Amino acid sequence: MTDVVALGEPLVQLNAVTPGPLRYVVYFERHIAGSELNFCVAVALNGLSCSLIARVGDDEFGRAVIEYLRARGVDASHMVVDREAQTGIYFVQRHYPVPNRSVLVYYRRGSAGSRLSPSDLDEQLIKSARIVHSSGITLAISDSAREAVYRAFELARARTFDTNIRPKLWRSPDEAREAVLKALKAGVEVLVTDPDDTKILLGVSEPAEAYRRYKELGVNVLVYKEGARGAYVFWEGGSYFRPAFNVRVEDPTGAGDAMAGTFVALYLKGVDPRRALDAASAASALVVGVRGDNESIPTPEDAEEFLRSI
Amino acid sequence: MTDVVALGEPLVQLNAVTPGPLRYVVYFERHIAGSELNFCVAVALNGLSCSLIARVGDDEFGRAVIEYLRARGVDASHMVVDREAQTGIYFVQRHYPVPNRSVLVYYRRGSAGSRLSPSDLDEQLIKSARIVHSSGITLAISDSAREAVYRAFELARARTFDTNIRPKLWRSPDEAREAVLKALKAGVEVLVTDPDDTKILLGVSEPAEAYRRYKELGVNVLVYKEGARGAYVFWEGGSYFRPAFNVRVEDPTGAGDAMAGTFVALYLKGVDPRRALDAASAASALVVGVRGDNESIPTPEDAEEFLRSI
Amino acid sequence: MTDVVALGEPLVQLNAVTPGPLRYVVYFERHIAGSELNFCVAVALNGLSCSLIARVGDDEFGRAVIEYLRARGVDASHMVVDREAQTGIYFVQRHYPVPNRSVLVYYRRGSAGSRLSPSDLDEQLIKSARIVHSSGITLAISDSAREAVYRAFELARARTFDTNIRPKLWRSPDEAREAVLKALKAGVEVLVTDPDDTKILLGVSEPAEAYRRYKELGVNVLVYKEGARGAYVFWEGGSYFRPAFNVRVEDPTGAGDAMAGTFVALYLKGVDPRRALDAASAASALVVGVRGDNESIPTPEDAEEFLRSI
Amino acid sequence: MTDVVALGEPLVQLNAVTPGPLRYVVYFERHIAGSELNFCVAVALNGLSCSLIARVGDDEFGRAVIEYLRARGVDASHMVVDREAQTGIYFVQRHYPVPNRSVLVYYRRGSAGSRLSPSDLDEQLIKSARIVHSSGITLAISDSAREAVYRAFELARARTFDTNIRPKLWRSPDEAREAVLKALKAGVEVLVTDPDDTKILLGVSEPAEAYRRYKELGVNVLVYKEGARGAYVFWEGGSYFRPAFNVRVEDPTGAGDAMAGTFVALYLKGVDPRRALDAASAASALVVGVRGDNESIPTPEDAEEFLRSI
Amino acid sequence: MTDVVALGEPLVQLNAVTPGPLRYVVYFERHIAGSELNFCVAVALNGLSCSLIARVGDDEFGRAVIEYLRARGVDASHMVVDREAQTGIYFVQRHYPVPNRSVLVYYRRGSAGSRLSPSDLDEQLIKSARIVHSSGITLAISDSAREAVYRAFELARARTFDTNIRPKLWRSPDEAREAVLKALKAGVEVLVTDPDDTKILLGVSEPAEAYRRYKELGVNVLVYKEGARGAYVFWEGGSYFRPAFNVRVEDPTGAGDAMAGTFVALYLKGVDPRRALDAASAASALVVGVRGDNESIPTPEDAEEFLRSI
Amino acid sequence: MTDVVALGEPLVQLNAVTPGPLRYVVYFERHIAGSELNFCVAVALNGLSCSLIARVGDDEFGRAVIEYLRARGVDASHMVVDREAQTGIYFVQRHYPVPNRSVLVYYRRGSAGSRLSPSDLDEQLIKSARIVHSSGITLAISDSAREAVYRAFELARARTFDTNIRPKLWRSPDEAREAVLKALKAGVEVLVTDPDDTKILLGVSEPAEAYRRYKELGVNVLVYKEGARGAYVFWEGGSYFRPAFNVRVEDPTGAGDAMAGTFVALYLKGVDPRRALDAASAASALVVGVRGDNESIPTPEDAEEFLRSI
């Protein structure tokens, strides 16, 4: 039995070694990333088993993704190698035009990863998992990928979801809202989201109000990220706010995935939501201090050491 | 009046800093390249005016291409910025699986550059140029790009062409042959090619025989590249073989373009074909010693210094 | 017609890759800089035409400067290639002995750039420009360069000036004062300066008092930079203070030039001085976050995105 | 069932980025290596299953080793994490004092890897493997490691061995000879060795004579490496010499392991010894062209492409 | 006559070029460090003569240490080259698991440096020095090194000491306490310590109380470091607190040594303790901004420039 | 007593990290070099004492030079720090326009080093040295430096000289000839030169003839370098030709100095001229394989290991 199964697109990340406009960047550093892949790395680091169901191309970058999953202890045996398409890539422009933020430039149209489809699902695996996870990105990358998520959620015993609405990947906010709400219908154990996405989905952004509404939609626990301010967790019986740690930013990309994966893993292990959010915030803080989305996600011991140091 | 107008796709090149399989490469060095862009740089370095007609995306990489053209003295005022597509990129894997050779991995499907079309042509510019140049790559990247080359060749006063048949870009050798032979129909002043392409185009590969056959197709001067062996030039009245210079290989990508551009520029300046081939071979030798396709193409003075040193 | 003509010395910058005393720096990163060159890049990025009148050596670094100007859309056709002298260079030592500051070490004595002279001026160009710009550095590098600025200011329709008094380049503060005040005599539309320079020039440093005095000297608009505190703009009819943005410092070199160039360009475009100073401060903040003086100067759109993010 | 089980010490390699004496090297590049680990990577790349039995420390470098094994498809489930000792490391000095050669500086005394012992062996795994492999290095690093090899060879169905006598690791040639000959006693299917080691072991160095003598000791197939000259294979019924490929040397470390692992894997797959040696030589040639011992070991397809290119 | 003689272990430092867990660091930057070596560099930069008595291996890294000492103006003529052991090394993991802190991983067990012994002492040199210095690290690395410190302190005219208790190097806090208190017995002119060490040594941590107690043990001047808060100095007749400077952290390793060496040197030169602590704090602040422990320690002029800039 | 005293200009070298025209080089690697400094490093590595008399600026690069001399065991106590001028620097462009050759671009006009003058000479030191050494470069950099060499040669007990005629540093070949011949007048124990310089000096270039003529001018031993072909040594009683070793070229700069310094040192130690030339050629071969002029000069043991490996 696998604890967690995730569906999404793994990508090769080319991170600018020097900050500033991409135009003048001469050296790029290669990392392996992707929202659900980052999530899986966090889950595995916290001691749960995790499978990623995804497609990569039959190329060197696809092989790099599979080797990376195996290295990090994520089950890659359900990965599909697609001979018709290439592994997707993206570039990270750092600290321009806004300091401490990154701009992502994707080469993923028609990528192997975006060709994920319901036929890629191992139904037995999905049915047996404690949780099936995906995100708004996977809903956006193609019709077949979206159908794969819906189908997997149908089969799943329980679900977690990160709304992750990237406006560039959708024709309109309405399209995004419809797709995400449909995913939530099956009932979501833990929902990770933020005020911008919630505004699109529910038309509100006040945290407590958001939780009330999400709960009506079947959400059990809500992780509500307010970026550089911090994050809330709401659950049956309580809520908690964790102010963000004040850290130097190298590249914030992946911070949300680290938070989601760490929180969900600890939640599944029965950790108190407050302590889970603390550790998830530590993971998030460590990720923003480096290039690469998941290399600095801490083990539980390292997260504790971080928290003790504050 | 512009001496040379070229049509093709400029690309951002991501060259592996360390040799070996791409999978394990951590750092990539950014260069600006593309067969016709390389050709233009060689032409401009040899003192002729040159315009590149091509498309780039409305993105940082597209801006990098245009800035690079301007820097190198190539007229970029006829470049088209395409808001619907991205600037194409490719990766260079070096010395694996064959030492001294490179493997190119393209992300150019649907790229801005591949959307070049007859409507992008400035007819006045093309008619007034001494020479219009393109290559088999531009014929291969899309139907509209191929039509653009045919149309430009129709309008041109004279033409030069580099066969550059990349099997992966064509459905079949037959498709490539047909497309290239159609381009040659208009009459080509200087043709640059090699035994592999000639085998596909004419079914022969012996140099003198090849020249005889190309001449029947309207080719005036033939540059016949035999790779690490050297290169021939055939012309009305003579032929000459220049053995390749024995140099250390960093990345051979672009060597053929440097040879083509240097030869054509010197030929247009009235240099004796033997001396033009010597300088073109020097350009080629210098390019294989560095990463990047065109930064080491020599000025005429530098090519002479190279040749004196032998 | 060119909007802006600037006179100054372009330099090759060798920026320490690692912070600390230059003695232990092993790697240097090459950039193209110089106060007026940086100014021109800012002007061109804001959509105005700009010519740099300057000298470089007949060497690789001189060619690098000219290629860089062309790349950035600055008119380099009035650049003079001096066969008798080398292109000037300088080294940047970062974060030592004072964190967040840089120490500049110049090799520019007798450089091509310092040999700028009145005979290098294209009078037609200068007379037709909307604005002629220079700085206290150009006044300091040689007698002939100083004369060139005086002559150009005489011919100009309007002038902007950045006082930029570098004590090491002058024999005494008195010498600097005399030279700068003489430049201001012709009447300056926009003056960019700071408390240190103003103390030398006028013996005062309080902002409003400084403006009153500069106005008497024929200055119309005053940009008064107070470094890490922020900057004022004073104009006929108002004044405005823009606190500096709190950003991580990689190398502050060039921040003042980015502010001057951006402000002047926007001012010429008729932008309200307050909004012009906001954008100029954004430019300044982005430049301090990178090595290199001008690669991170924003376009108007990027400056706006920066300002929206605050 | 696992095809191959290997016993040895995995090490973290710190390879000098620049050639010359280690004293002046400022940057080091981290790789994962070790003779048997390299062997295993070659085996896995050729499609056989392979387990490494070895110890690493309970530290970041130990974790790096285990992640690397998993990434490369080598079974790491029998690895032992030793809480009492650190993962061993070594430095590679390149091209000094002899061009094209490397000097290795080890920090492995008392390392976790050297504490391998008979109690670390999974007897079931060893008995079921087609082949158990080790090398003279493992015999040398400690008494317990030597005993582990002897015990594993006793249990094994068949054995392969690489003599790899490193004089610095032994008190005397006699000690090395005794230890290696004892390992050969159990009967070795494929022995990989060279003239220097053979001189120590048998007092001879002529290839055919060496084969005759090794055969008497129970060796079935002999791979006899003559370094830059090439390599022989001798087997019941024939012999074959493969001249070395002439390639640029970055770091020859690991070339012998790549040859051994590739040959043994192909031999186990029933490939003709001549073709196996060709591919093994290709692997060796690719490894010397890069830093790192095993990243450039080719897949069978890539080895074939290499061989076709000659 | 030498002003200062120090006893300790010089080490080669391999500092992670990128932050995050060591496991994913690919490039390491080599520095020369060690607590007493850093101390000596600070002393020499402040114009006093300083000898380091220590052992290195007869290897490239040992030669690097000796060359570095000579370069920095530290007398290396009493260094011992040990043919039986290697020069010790350590790795620096930065910003993980706690941002702004480093984790050190040593390979120094049995190292040449740890084999320092009383027989290595030049008694004449020690007796003639104004001050003999060592630290709690040297007490911890081996019995013979500890005896060397005790013997040197016996011979010395005066002593300075940095408690530097590294829990990992001791079997128990009790063992550390005993060893350090024994070293203090001889009377210490300047003691450098912090609350953690003082808690172990004296069971107290309040600064003034600590000073009272240390004074009873024969300490004359106390430098009491409170890390990111700042540092106290207590002396006969007064005390002073210097809040830490707020600087960006690259790697805090070595900051304490820079403070100790700078303070002791200035104290020996008769500088007022308040001004000495200011300069020592400046040294500390500059060191945390770079990789490497001692390259950014300032000269007195540079420390003054730093202090003027605040 | 010092064995060798050398006079010349130390320089900071900025070596292009990537080959090709300097214009496109982004990263430079800092080394310390200069013909006589390189010579001194070779002398010291071979176990003789050596003093460099030279000037550096009162700047970070000057301090780097002095630290480097000390590190390498060259006596820097007679170095003069010149407060009026900067330490000279130069750039190395590699493999362009001629593969395997370098182009040097100097910023040394008016440098501190070129201001060497007779008043900088410690007469006692010079009179007591076994040998005083300089080169044609020092004769060329300024009148005062030339006078310093003449004066030192007058005072010296014996002299060695490297003709090193750099055409760019002289107004005419005649000027160079006169200056060098005047230096030779005092009698030169060992002269190092090559065919090009000899053509200028004597009008001949055939080796034996050259030796005959130099002998008439008072030369005792002649080292006659023929570049990639090899080198001769002629002495009273014999001659010997050492073909150059065939090695990969990274940067040939400094190869001649390594040969001169190694030969002279071994000659002074009484080594047979043939063996001295072998070792000197090994030094030369090792230097061309790296960036930096003197880091790869071997110790006698390392040179022997190199020679044994051939």
Report pLDDT for E219: 98
User: Who among C24, C59, C110 is closest to F105 (CB)?
Assistant: C59
Task: Name the average pLDDT for chain B.
Answer: 97
Nearest chain F Cα to B299, which residue? Answer: F97
Query: What average pLDDT does chain E have?
Result: 97
> Using a CB-CB distance cutoff of 8 angstroms, which residues of chain B are in contact with residue F19?
250, 289-290, 296
Q: Which percentage of chain C shows pLDDT scores above 70?
A: 100
Over range A239-244, report the average pLDDT.
97
CA dist C215 and B281 (Å) reads 65
pLDDT tens-place string over residues D167-217:
989 999 999 999 999 999 989 999 999 999 999 999 999 999 999 999 999
Q: Is the pLDDT of residue F213 over 90?
A: yes
Contact E50/E266 with Cβ under 8 angstroms?
no
Task: Categorize the per-residue pLDDT at C276 as very low, low, confident or very high, splitting at 50, 70 and 90.
Answer: very high
Q: Which of B68, B286, B304, B307 to mutate to test the interface with F (most CBs of F within 10 A)?
A: B286
Which of F23, F61, F96, F168 best probes binding to C when mutated, by most C CB atoms within 10 angstroms? F23
Residue of chain C minimizing CA distance to B295: C64
Q: Do A99 and C298 touch (CB under 8 A)?
A: no
**Closest partner residue to B99 among D289, D292, D303, by Cβ?**
D289
pLDDT of A156 strictly over 90: yes
DSSP assignment of chain C: --SEEEE---EEEEEESS-S-GGG--EEEEEEE-HHHHHHHHHHHTT--EEEE-EEESSHHHHHHHHHHHHTT-B-TT-EEETTSPPPEEEEEESSSSTT-EEEEEE-TT-TGGG--GGG--HHHHHH-SEEEEEHHHHHH-HHHHHHHHHHHHH-SSEEEE----GGGSS-HHHHHHHHHHHHTT-EEEEEE-HHHHHHHHS---HHHHHHHHHHTTEEEEEEE-TTSEEEEEETTEEEEEEPP----S--TTHHHHHHHHHHHHHHTT--HHHHHHHHHHHHHHHHTSSSSSTTPPPHHHHHHHHHH-
Between the alpha carbon of residue C128 and those of residues A210, B61, C156, C262, F96, the distances in Å are 62, 35, 8, 21, 43
pLDDT digits (tens, 9 = 90+) for C7-27: 999 999 999 999 999 999 999
Phi, psi of F91 (to 5 degrees): -105, 145
Residues from chain A contacting residue C285 (CB–CB below 8 Å): 99
**What is the pLDDT, as a whole number, of residue D23?**
97
The pLDDT value recorded for residue D49 is 98
Interchain contact B14–A (C-beta under 8 A): yes
C-alpha distances (whole Å) from C159 to each of A143, C82, C145 are: 60, 27, 17
- The answer, for F1 touching chain B at a CB cutoff of 8 Å, is no
Identity of residue B18: T
Token pair listed for A253: 């990309």
With CA atoms as reference, the chain C residue closest to B70 would be: C71
**What CA–CA distance (Å, rounded) separates D126 from D148?**
12
- Name C62's Cβ contacts closer than 8 Å, sequence gap at least 6: C56, C81, C87, C112
Do the Cβ atoms of A19 and C289 come within 8 Å? Answer: yes
Please tell me the distance in Å from F67's CA to the nearest CA on chain C. 9
Chain F nearest CA to B296, separation (Å): 5
* pLDDT exceeds cutoff 90 at F303: yes
Q: Which DSSP string do the residues of A171-232 spell out, in sequence order?
A: S-HHHHHHHHHHHHTT-EEEEEE-HHHHHHHHS---HHHHHHHHHHTTEEEEEEE-TTSEEE
Q: What is the pLDDT of residue C124?
A: 97
Show which subunits contact F, needing at least 3 CB pairs below 8 angstroms.
B, C, D, E
| C-alpha separations of D295 from A64, A194, D303 in Å | 12, 42, 14
CA pair distance D245, D52, nearest whole angstrom: 30
E172 CA: distance to closest CA in chain D (Å): 17
pLDDT at A189: 98
The whole-angstrom separation of Cα B29 and Cα D246 is: 28
Q: Do A70 and D68 lie within an 8 Å CB cutoff?
A: no
Judged against a pLDDT cut of 90, whether residue D233 lies above it is answered with yes
**Is residue B45 a contact partner of residue B299, using CB atoms and an 8 Å limit?**
yes
pLDDT, position F148: 98
Within an 8 Å CB–CB cutoff, is residue A299 touching chain D? no
- Taking the CB of residue A304, how many other CB atoms lie within 10 A of it? 16
pLDDT at position B56 is 98
Mean pLDDT of D21-30: 98
Q: Which pLDDT score, from 0 to 100, does residue C66 have?
A: 98
Which CATH architecture describes the domain E4-309?
A: 3-Layer(aba) Sandwich (3.40)
Mean residue pLDDT of chain D comes to: 97
Token digits for D293?
Answer: 């011992």
Q: Token pair for residue A127?
A: 């049915």
Enzyme catalytic residues of C: 257
> Phi, psi at residue D189, to the nearest 5°?
-70, -50
Q: What is the pLDDT of residues E176-216, one digit of tens each?
A: 999 999 999 989 999 999 999 999 999 999 999 999 999 99
Q: Does C62 touch chain B (CB under 8 A)?
A: no
Q: Indicate the pLDDT class of residue B223, thresholds 50, 70 and 90.
A: very high
> Which of D90, D93, D103, D105 best probes binding to E when mutated, by most E CB atoms within 10 angstroms?
D105
Pair type for strands E27-33 and D27-33? antiparallel
Which H or E run includes B305?
helix B300-309
The CA distance from A136 to A7, in Å, is 11
Rounded to an integer, the average pLDDT of F226-247 is: 95
Q: What is the largest CA-CA distance in chain C?
A: 52
Q: Cα-atom radius of gyration of chain A, to the nearest Å?
A: 18
**DSSP letters spanning B202-217:** HS---HHHHHHHHHHT
Q: Do E70 and F68 touch (CB under 8 A)?
A: no
pLDDT tens sequence across B108-146:
999 999 999 999 999 999 999 999 999 999 999 999 999
Is the pLDDT at F255 greater than 90? The verdict is: yes
Mean pLDDT of A89-93: 98
Average pLDDT over residues E270-288: 98
User: Nearest to residue E14, comparing CAs of E112, E97, E91, E124?
Assistant: E91
pLDDT digits (tens, 9 = 90+) for C218-246: 999 999 999 889 999 999 989 999 999 99
Which of B27, B63, B89 has the CB atom closest to A27's CB atom?
B27
Residue D257: both structure tokens together: 């392991």
Active site residues of F: 257
Residues of chain F neighbouring B306 (CB-CB closer than 8 A): 97-99
Q: Do F70 and E68 touch (CB under 8 A)?
A: no
Determine whether the interchain pair E286/C18 forms a contact, defined as Cβ–Cβ distance below 8 Å.
Answer: no
Task: Look at chain B and count its residues.
Answer: 310
State the count of interchain CB pairs (< 8 A) between D and E.
59
Measured in angstroms, the CA of B209 and the nearest CA of chain C are apart by 44
Q: Average pLDDT, stretch D103-110?
A: 95
Q: How far apart are CA E124 and CA E155, in angstroms?
A: 9
Nearest to B89 among A23, A63, A107 (CB): A107
What confidence score (pLDDT) does residue C197 get? Answer: 98
Looking up tokens 């500069």 gives: C214
Nearby residues of E66 by Cβ (< 8 Å), 6 or more positions away: E56, E76, E79, E81
Residue F228: pLDDT band with limits 50, 70, 90: confident
Which of the following is catalytic: B257, B272, B278, B302? B257
> Alpha carbon of F100 to those of C33, F250, F254: distances in Å?
31, 7, 13
Instruction: Decide if B71 touches C, using CB distance below 8 A.
Output: yes
| Helix ranges, F156-299 (H) | 173-184, 195-202, 207-216, 255-268, 273-288
User: E59 an active-site residue?
Assistant: no
| Cβ–Cβ contact E124 with C under 8 A | no
Subunits next to B (3 or more Cβ pairs <8 Å) are A, C, D, F
Q: Are A42 and A262 in contact (CB under 8 A)?
A: yes
Q: Are B96 and D286 an interchain contact pair (Cβ–Cβ within 8 Å)?
A: yes
pLDDT of residue D228: 87
pLDDT band at C256, cuts 50/70/90? very high
Asked if E73 reaches chain F (Cβ–Cβ under 8 Å), the answer is yes
* Residue E228's pLDDT band (cuts 50, 70, 90): confident
CA nearest B25 in A: which residue? A30
Shortest CA gap A60–chain B (Å): 5
Q: Which of the residues E75, E82, E120, E257 is marked catalytic?
A: E257
Q: Specify the amino acid at residue B120.
A: D
Is the Cβ of E96 closer than 8 Å to some Cβ of chain A? yes
Is pLDDT at C1 greater than 90 in this prediction? no
Chain A contact for E95 (CB, 8 A cutoff): yes
